[in-house]
Structure 1
């Protein structure tokens, strides 16, 4: 049995610096692509308000998941938190939300990569570019997590350097009228509804930092390193989100930014021209930011699919590990093929709404897990405790619920599509998954051992 348990576990190699790089890297494409789609209704001020609300939500949640990851250090991450707090059904739905988030995020970012490539080479097909990216990074992830982390650090430092360069060049050229409109113009074109509509896109500036707990099994000292990685990454992203939105909108204005598929080169080009050196650099080397996030979301969906499969909720073949590399190669490849098909058939604007809905389901579950486990199991070892508990998880929980309703306003059809997806997942759980749970998987074993202890006491 011991050998079987060991064969199901991942290799521990990650340090706090690796975690920071992966956390920032998986999100950083939000600065390069996606955040701007809500601007037509929100304007700069409405977008800024939406960003602040989402920063509070993610910041509060980051403190909560830092606590949870030291208590339950498993690849299941969000699924394992909800499983422990609220049982297997809620754990499964949380896992589906996470898979939906990252599985959809991968083709969304791939489309963004295609947009940047077409800025430089208009003849290059978006699908071809996406297929090449999928192939390259699936191979890298199969080779190993440590090798990927090293590559990710290089990508992140280049992407950060480019953003800082844009700030230095762009800040002195900001046109205040682009930010606040001409005299007599509404600061927030859509009013409160405009802010609500911007929330799913403001999420794109932070979405995925919460994937880091899924790397707990691959972190050398999870109790010390995981909170450091999560919180340092969140602080970095907060600073970037505020400055990027201000500089880009200040340079190009709402009309240009609200429709741009390559917002940063478009912002520089609006002020300096398409041939300006920084516009060209952002369009070419700026791909690094998107690639960093693309590679990160492959890591995220593969770990959640692997954990759910290992625990029996998804078919067993999805948790197969490479014999020498100890990487979940099937969980890397299979969703990647399906994601590539999504690139062909769907618009990125709509895909973002699916990804954010799945994410918000998992956020609600994780915040509830912090609250429930403090009450239900106060004596669980917590190397990190959420500051200002219970206010912190409650604030994040309330904002996540508000953001879910924002997705309702953004696109009613896709809101109901998301509900249908979770309804189908529920049917699948009760028909198949419920009867195939593997109690020897780490996330499940930890729960069943606790239940056995409780039964013995009674």
Structure 2
């Protein structure tokens, strides 16, 4: 088994993040999912079927976060699920968890960047989508290189603005909600297949909240701060997700929204009229939510690359820290290059599905790690323990597997690409490790 290289030469990240900033990073990681992406689920499930998809996924995330918090508080490591799986399951388990996490966090930012480009194009047709999306990487890689303390402050501001905007949005559209609109144009019967097909897009409401684990080495007093940050953020996100999805579907003909990358301003246009200036204003402010998620996901993917490289799972140069700002600059740049390639595909829905598949594989590995560690290391210091153990982690594990099977069944080509990439990269890793000995 590969062990972390301890000692004075090991690069160190700065511990500067407090509870409020951690909440902002957790919510910021996810909040773009309330602005776009989920509406693709209506294509496969209708509004009623997708409501069931969302409730199932919400149950998975609530039980998962309350369980995952135990791991993050007990083992505050920038590798997140990778570190927990290595400790519980060994090298192979660690590689699977690390690969899945990389897919999750490397593919979420290009989808968000593409949505940012779409929102900008909605505001001004002269702004091309792809160049605008790519410019986001240049801007936010630069911001993140300047230090985690500055990044956390920026995250706090944009996350608060994006949450307030969604609260105002819900207040504006609530009087226009009609149950008849919500139930109209749905299949006569809600089907299990429809519910399962909507799962990847319901996951988009919450995916990436687990990225908080990747800044665990930069949190002040992680044993106390991490539980407070995680629990407050999941409560915030559940309320916003259910409110946005349900109320948006009841304002007008939801079929007009199900293939857009900017549904929020379109909902306002339905409610207030096509010429309403408020919808344009909200599209402008909506950029804050997308910016918050893009920024926070940039933090997370860079820390995951950094942690994997530090432990020998990726090229060592990716674990280098900037001498002045103590940030993983090569990890930031490498993730940006992957994002550029994904943006050029122009397929937001497929990127979302692939990111979701990586997420549920990582969730399953994490819950398995938690169950194993409770037996393997009963004396491990656990400042926070999963409530109703073992039921919460078991429920999260089972629902993760259900979601994984659903995504694989309805997206077979993408699933083949995912698992083939996992196998090939794992084989390459094993060969290179043997040569290095």
By the TM > 0.5 criterion, same fold?
A: yes
Structure-1 separation of matches of 2:182 and 2:436 = 55
Instruction: Name the structure 2 match of 1:341.
Output: 341
C-alpha spacing 1:121/1:162, structure 2 compared with 1 (3 Å): same
* TM-aligned CA deviation for residue 254 of structure 1: 2.9
TM-superposition CA deviations, 1:158-195 (whole Å, max 9, x none): 1111111111110010122221126xx53656x11111
Structure-1 separation of matches of 2:48 and 2:436 = 50
Q: How does 1:56-455 map to 2 (within 5 A)?
A: 56-181=59-184, 186=187, 191-433=191-433
1:39 counterpart = 2:53 = no
TM-superposition CA deviations, 1:410-434 (whole Å, max 9, x none): 3221121111111112212211246
Structure-2 separation of matches of 1:194 and 1:207 = 20
2:344 alignment partner, SS class:
helix
* TM-aligned CA deviation for residue 9 of structure 1: 1.6
The answer (yes or no) to whether the contact 2:79–2:214 under 8 Å persists in 1 is yes
Q: Which runs of 5+ in 2 are unaligned?
A: 1-5
Instruction: Name the structure 1 match of 2:3.
Output: none
* TM-aligned CA deviation for residue 277 of structure 1: 2.5
Instruction: Name the structure 2 match of 1:446.
Output: none
1:286 alignment partner, SS class:
helix
C-alpha spacing 1:352/1:56, structure 2 compared with 1 (3 Å): same
Structure-2 separation of matches of 1:428 and 1:188 = 48
The answer (yes or no) to whether the contact 1:252–1:270 under 8 Å persists in 2 is yes
C-alpha spacing 1:117/1:436, structure 2 compared with 1 (3 Å): farther
Structure-2 separation of matches of 1:208 and 1:14 = 18
The answer (yes or no) to whether the contact 1:44–1:188 under 8 Å persists in 2 is no
Structure-2 separation of matches of 1:202 and 1:288 = 21
2:161 alignment partner, SS class:
helix
C-alpha spacing 1:276/1:59, structure 2 compared with 1 (3 Å): same
Structure-2 separation of matches of 1:169 and 1:436 = 61
* TM-aligned CA deviation for residue 338 of structure 1: 2.3
Aligned alpha-carbon RMSD (Å) = 1.5
**How does the TM-score come out when normalised to structure 1?**
0.92
Q: Which runs of 5+ in 1 are unaligned?
A: 438-458
The answer (yes or no) to whether the contact 1:313–1:433 under 8 Å persists in 2 is no
Structure-2 separation of matches of 1:426 and 1:273 = 54
* TM-aligned CA deviation for residue 436 of structure 1: 5.7
* TM-aligned CA deviation for residue 128 of structure 1: 1.1
Structure-2 separation of matches of 1:128 and 1:221 = 41
TM-superposition CA deviations, 1:261-280 (whole Å, max 9, x none): 21111111123223213211
Structure-1 separation of matches of 2:400 and 2:347 = 24
The answer (yes or no) to whether the contact 1:26–1:209 under 8 Å persists in 2 is yes
TM-superposition CA deviations, 1:375-424 (whole Å, max 9, x none): 11111111111110000000000111111111123322112111111111
Instruction: Name the structure 2 match of 1:4.
Output: 9
The answer (yes or no) to whether the contact 1:143–1:327 under 8 Å persists in 2 is yes
1:4 alignment partner, SS class:
coil
1:128 alignment partner, SS class:
helix
The answer (yes or no) to whether the contact 1:252–1:266 under 8 Å persists in 2 is no
The answer (yes or no) to whether the contact 1:81–1:366 under 8 Å persists in 2 is yes
Number of paired residues? 432
The answer (yes or no) to whether the contact 1:314–1:433 under 8 Å persists in 2 is no
The answer (yes or no) to whether the contact 2:248–2:254 under 8 Å persists in 1 is no
301-310 vs 32-41, which moves further = 32-41
Structure-1 separation of matches of 2:260 and 2:111 = 15
Structure-1 separation of matches of 2:324 and 2:189 = 56
Instruction: Name the structure 2 match of 1:448.
Output: none
1:135 alignment partner, SS class:
helix
